[in-house]
Structure 1
Amino acid sequence: MRIIENIISDRGSKYAVSGAPCGSEEGAKALIKELCRKKKFAKATHNSWGLLTADGPVKNDDGESGAGMVILRMLEREDLRDHLVVVTRWYGGKHLGGDRFRHVQEAVRIYLEDLPESER
């Protein structure tokens, strides 16, 4: 799993983005479980994710309402299929309002820019 840490910091909240090739919801859940074996990610406030599969889109907000849909829209725009993208947030004590969606978008953008062409 490709992990890019400490990409965004705002009012105490910190973000990371991760991803890996994945073809099913069960596979996504296994990858999230693997990610959360790292103590830092297990303690995160949210591990929101999205995945486009042959069976359709799958997402999980993990308490960050709407974040999974933001990730899915970006994956659809890039036509990136069978690739899980996870945006992790550690809550910093202050509400971010709509800025949190911009941060999720920016995290996915950073991941996509870092993704080798061979994995698309």
Structure 2
Amino acid sequence: MKVLENIISDRGSRYAVSGGPCGSEAEAKAFLKELKRRKKFAKATHNTWACLTDDAPLKNDDGESGAGMVILRMLERDNLRNHIIVVTRWYGGKHLGGDRFRHVQDAVRLYTEDLSQS
């Protein structure tokens, strides 16, 4: 499990991104359970995620409407298969509007760039 914390901050909202190998919905649930063992992530406002498995694309917005699809499209574009990416947001009290999608994209981009350098 790779976790990049405090990568984006905007109007009080803070973001982190994490990911790891994942080939099924059961593995995605296990990944999220492991991530949420960290109290900080369990208390997050949103843990939005997506995974492009061999069987089917999987995603969950976790209340951040449309964010799972943003992650999934980026996984498809990069052809990153059997790997889950979770974008975590701690809400800061001010609505971000469309900027929240840009932040999700930036978080995924930071993660994939870090992954390619590993």
Q: What TM-score comes out, normalization by structure 1 length?
A: 0.96
How far apart are 1:116 and its partner, in Å?
3.6
Report the counterpart of residue 94 of structure 1 in structure 2: 94
Spell out, residue by residue over 1:47-74, the C-alpha distance to the aligned partner (whole angstroms, 9 max, x if none).
Answer: 0000001111000000000000000000
Gapped regions of structure 2 (runs ≥ 5): none
Paired residues, number: 118
Report the counterpart of residue 64 of structure 2 in structure 1: 64
Distance 1:22 1:40 in 2: 22
Report the counterpart of residue 29 of structure 1 in structure 2: 29
How far apart are 1:75 and its partner, in Å?
0.2
Distance 1:74 1:62 in 2: 18
Spell out, residue by residue over 1:54-97, the C-alpha distance to the aligned partner (whole angstroms, 9 max, x if none).
Answer: 11100000000000000000000000000000000000000000
Distance 1:102 1:54 in 2: 27
Give, as a single letter, the amino acid of the residue that structure 1 aligns with 2:83.
H
Gapped regions of structure 1 (runs ≥ 5): none
Question: Percent of aligned pairs with the same residue?
Answer: 77
How far apart are 1:117 and its partner, in Å?
6.2
Q: Does 1:41 align with 2:41?
A: yes
Give, as a single letter, the amino acid of the residue that structure 2 aligns with 1:16.
A
What is the root-mean-square deviation in Å for CA atoms of aligned residues? Answer: 1.0
Report the counterpart of residue 105 of structure 2 in structure 1: 105
Distance 1:110 1:25 in 2: 24
Report the counterpart of residue 20 of structure 1 in structure 2: 20
